Amino acid sequence: MAENRKYLPLASTRRLEKLMTRYYFLTRYHRFWGKPLRRPLAWVTSGAPVELLRAFRIHPVYPENYGAICGTRRVSAQLCQVAEAAGYSQDLCSYARSHIGSILRPELAPMGGLPKPDLLVACNNICGTVLKWYEALARIFRVPLLVLDTPFLPGELTESAKSYVLEQLKHMADFLAHFTGRRLDRRELERHMALSKETVNLWKEIRGFCRAKPSPLNAPDLFIHMAPIVVLRGTPQAVHYYRLLRNEVNSRVQQGQGAVPGEKIRLVWDNIAIWYRIFGFFQMFSERGACFVTDTYSGGWVMELTEGDPLESLAATYTEIFLNRSPEFRARQMIELIKDYNADGFVMHSNRSCKPYSLVQEVIRRRVMQETGVPGLVVEADMADQRVFAEEPVRNRVQAFLETLSDI
Amino acid sequence: MLNKYYLGIDIGSLTTKVVLVDDTGAVAARAADRSGYSGRRVAERLVEEILKEKGLDKKDISATVATGYGRVTFPADREISEITCQARGIAHLFPAARTVIDIGGQDSKVIKLLPGGKVADFAMNDKCAAGTGRFLEVMAGALEVRVEDLDDLAAQSGESCPISSICTVFAESEVISHIAAGRQKADIVAGVCASVAARVASLASRTGLEPEVVFTGGVARNKGVVNALAEHLRCRLLVPEEPEVTAALGAALLAGNIKV
């Protein structure tokens, strides 16, 4: 980690590091075990139906998680420049640019870049950028690209939208059977879905502990400890890890321990973390007694898998991802978080990279302020490209915002 | 009994302002100068000057609050953001004010006030100097006129030239091409003022405008911008007598904990 935290550390972090190191170690040396075990490697988007891939024994690797690693290690700007020099626009998502940069110049990239994929799986429930990003990857590596098109939901999920996605999942399953030489084992799919469900429930429980005053976790904890639910969702390792974390967070609550000493202000975070300043940024808040007790970003992985037919359940779950939904839905979600977690205000990261997340924030901000009466701040930055972060203007806005929440 | 004095120091990106108030909140002295390389040194010199002028000593100052971009560099008792200071200063001068539009050297901001001068909401310009004092300076430079003369020129305009409000650098090239096309200086200046107004008006739409609206910061001295902004927002704008020192005044009031 490039920065040190300045508040109560979690003992589970060591186990997390071990778990993630093991995952990236296995990924890095996939070439030695993938072929003999007939387990292809797929690069997938964060909102891809990974349970289906796991049922076919595919090893999923997440370029977005890798982008976050590049951001945390502060090598994104350099990798982005490599991609920009190759013609990719500076306005393109910094995960996409970091990842493409890591392919073009692996010697500059963490872990020497990700191992080459046998397959690409993109789902546009999180954004439209992934389609073009993965098309570029398909051209570079000349491997099959599977696209799952989830229609945007202006209201609730309709039957037609659900069956449209279900049809695609069936086609995807047929293709994967052909590609891997395995039949779709429904029991295996149900097993991975049950593991996903358990992971999601544990994550939900852990997040729920933060309703306590003081909150046992601060946003950077959530951002760091969400890694397994992204890359290991649907595995026993993820379940095992989150049980451990649940116990530690629960005991913090029992002992009345807060993540931020002398918690005075409770806030809600919106948008992806600022990875290259993951501790420094939040320190501007924690040093004034402000704790981010919950967020919309890591909460995005609290996606409950419904009962019933597994493919139908996947179709519904992955179409109903919050980024695929209306500003009204997102405003309502924010309002509920503020009430539920007894928050005094909220901070929205206007993330230059992530257009679907950021574009509607001003509309949401106004509605949430109107309905809850708590103030909201917008901070301009980027999740991975540190060139976008202007320290002084950000500090100035944060200070002014916290002054409005204190008595001066 | 001796009077107590409180000092407010606003080290801005372009100008440093110093205000001294007594314990009733009345302004005893004020001074301003370009921030230059070291705003802190400019502030220290200005403080010395006003103390000398008033026949006071450093120990007559009970408390000091620093604000503005250079606030952390100055050894004050407290540093407070200029948003909070600006709000306090304006509430003191205009108790009925509910919105402040402030255009300084590199920042433009809109602050929504609660009665008593507490901040309800605010919006600031993004990482871009379009719509700020620096923008006007660059344009005045391109037109070879003094910034102070911009408002007289704008008043003479018949038909203003459209200027993009997206980027200072590109806007400067636009001004140069208008010059090359032989357009009247006055019309270009009017276009520049309208461009600043448009930029700030879009900022104001984020917080909403509630009267009374007070316009502060060095740019509020420019009648061309004041008129363009009033026209754009379709509302009356109140301008303090010395619009650039209001944040420093608020800082001094906060130093003395002098309530509105």
pLDDT at A1: 42
Contact in structure between A134 and A64 (CB atoms under 8 Å): no
Helix (H, G, I), strand (E, B) or coil at B23: coil
User: What are the structure tokens assigned to B115, written together?
Assistant: 């009665």
B52 min Cα distance to partner chain A (Å) = 31
Q: What is the DSSP string of A230-291?
A: HHSTTSHHHHHHHHHHHHHHHHHHHTT--SSTT--EEEEEESS--GGGTTHHHHHHHTTTEE
Segment 44-103 of chain B within 8 Å of chain A by CB: 69, 80-84
Q: How far apart are CA B84 and CA A400, in angstroms?
A: 6
Q: Which of A366, A380, A400 is the closest to B83 by Cβ? A: A400
What does the angle CA B20 – CA B22 – CA B25 come to, to the nearest 5 degrees?
95
Chain B residues with CB-CB distance to A408 below 8 A: 80, 84, 254
Residue B68 to residues A61, B80, B90, B198: CA-CA distances in angstroms? 47, 8, 16, 25
A335 min Cα distance to partner chain B (Å) = 18
Q: How far apart are CA A238 and CA A226, in angstroms?
A: 10
**CB within 8 Å: A403 and B80:** yes
Q: Which domain holds residue A67?
A: 1-408
Mutate which: A378, A396, A397, vs B, most B CBs within 10 A: A396
Which chain B residue lies closest to A388 (C-alpha atoms)? Answer: B127
A399 min Cα distance to partner chain B (Å) = 6
Q: How far apart are CA A86 and CA A99, in angstroms?
A: 13
Confidence of residue B168 (pLDDT cuts 50, 70, 90): confident
- Averaged pLDDT, B199-203: 88
Q: Which of B69, B81, B124 is the closest to A403 by Cβ? A: B81
Q: How far apart are CA A304 and CA A313, in angstroms?
A: 9
pLDDT at A9: 87
Closest by Cα among A137, A170, A109 to A44: A137
Tally of CB atoms within 10 A around A83: 24
Provide the ipTM: 0.87
Amino acid at the residue A113: G
Q: Topology of domain B1-94+245-260, per CATH?
A: Nucleotidyltransferase; domain 5 (3.30.420)
Contact in structure between B96 and B212 (CB atoms under 8 Å): yes
Helix (H, G, I), strand (E, B) or coil at A105: coil
Confidence of residue B260 (pLDDT cuts 50, 70, 90): low
Chain B residues with CB-CB distance to A394 below 8 A: none
A402 min Cα distance to partner chain B (Å) = 10
Q: Which helix (H) or strand (E) holds B170?
A: helix B168-180
Chain B residues with CB-CB distance to A404 below 8 A: 84, 118-120, 122
Closest by Cα among A282, A287, A264 to A223: A282
Q: How many domains does chain A have?
A: 1
Q: How far apart are CA B25 and CA A371, in angstroms?
A: 37
Which chain B residue lies closest to A404 (C-alpha atoms)? Answer: B119
Helix (H, G, I), strand (E, B) or coil at A7: coil
**Phi, psi (deg, nearest 5) at residue A45:** -80, 160
What does the angle CA A32 – CA A229 – CA A141 come to, to the nearest 5 degrees?
40
pLDDT at A2: 47
Segment 210-249 of chain B within 8 Å of chain A by CB: none
Chain A residues with CB-CB distance to B206 below 8 A: 362, 366
Chain A residues with CB-CB distance to B126 below 8 A: 380
B208 min Cα distance to partner chain A (Å) = 10
Confidence of residue B134 (pLDDT cuts 50, 70, 90): confident
Residue B116: partners with Cβ closer than 8 Å, 6 or more residues away: B91, B259, B260
A293 beta partners: none
**CB within 8 Å: A408 and B80:** yes
pLDDT at A6: 60
Where in chain B do CATH 3.30.420.40 domains reside? Answer: 1-94+245-260, 96-239
Q: How far apart are CA A226 and CA A202, in angstroms?
A: 11
Residue A124 to residues A165, A318, B10: CA-CA distances in angstroms? 11, 10, 49
Question: Is residue B120 within 8 angstroms of chain A, CB to CB?
Answer: yes
pLDDT at B205: 87
Q: How far apart are CA B72 and CA B81, in angstroms?
A: 10
Give me the helices (H) in B70-167, please. Answer: 82-93, 133-143, 150-155
A329 min Cα distance to partner chain B (Å) = 21
Going edge to edge, which strands form the sheet with B78-79?
B27-34, B15-22, B5-11, B61-67, B78-79
- Averaged pLDDT, B101-111: 91
Interface of A with B (CB under 8 A): 362, 366, 369, 375, 378, 380, 390, 392-393, 396-397, 399-400, 403-404, 408
**CB within 8 Å: B81 and A393:** no
pLDDT at B164: 76
Q: Topology of domain B96-239, per CATH?
A: Nucleotidyltransferase; domain 5 (3.30.420)
**CB within 8 Å: B84 and A408:** yes
pLDDT at B13: 86
Question: Is residue B34 within 8 angstroms of chain A, CB to CB?
Answer: no
User: What are the structure tokens assigned to B234, written together?
Assistant: 């379709």
Q: How far apart are CA A101 and CA A171, in angstroms?
A: 32
Question: Is residue B259 within 8 angstroms of chain A, CB to CB?
Answer: no
Chain B residues with CB-CB distance to A397 below 8 A: 124
Which chain B residue lies closest to A392 (C-alpha atoms)? Answer: B69
**CB within 8 Å: B80 and A375:** no
**CB within 8 Å: B119 and A403:** yes
B39 min Cα distance to partner chain A (Å) = 16
User: What are the structure tokens assigned to A309, written together?
Assistant: 């037919």
Residue A266 to residues A29, A218, A292, A364: CA-CA distances in angstroms? 43, 10, 6, 19
* Entry field: residues in chain B: 260
The number of C-beta contacts closer than 8 angstroms across A and B is: 40
User: Does pLDDT of B2 surpass 70?
Assistant: no
CA A368 from centre of chain: 23
B4-52 pLDDT per residue, tens: 999 999 999 889 999 999 999 999 999 999 999 999 999 999 999 999 9
User: Does pLDDT of B126 surpass 90?
Assistant: no
**CB within 8 Å: B119 and A393:** no
pLDDT at A4: 57
pLDDT at B106: 83
Question: Is residue B203 within 8 angstroms of chain A, CB to CB?
Answer: no
Which chain B residue lies closest to A369 (C-alpha atoms)? Answer: B121
Chain B residues with CB-CB distance to A90 below 8 A: none
Query: pLDDT 10s per residue in chain A (408 long)?
Result: 445 556 788 999 999 999 999 999 999 999 999 999 999 999 999 999 999 999 999 999 999 999 999 999 999 999 999 999 999 999 999 999 999 999 999 999 999 999 999 999 999 999 999 999 999 999 999 999 999 999 999 999 999 999 999 999 999 999 999 999 999 999 999 999 999 999 999 999 999 999 999 999 999 999 999 999 999 999 999 999 999 999 999 999 999 999 999 999 999 999 999 999 999 999 999 999 999 999 999 999 998 888 889 999 999 999 999 999 999 999 999 999 999 999 999 999 999 999 999 999 999 999 999 999 999 999 999 999 999 999 988 999 999 999 999 877
pLDDT at B148: 85
pLDDT at A19: 98
Q: How far apart are CA B199 and CA B223, in angstroms?
A: 17
Helix (H, G, I), strand (E, B) or coil at B101: strand
**CB within 8 Å: A375 and B206:** no
Q: How far apart are CA B173 and CA B170, in angstroms?
A: 5
Q: Which helix (H) or strand (E) holds A122?
A: strand A119-123
Which chain B residue lies closest to A380 (C-alpha atoms)? Answer: B126
- Averaged pLDDT, B123-146: 85
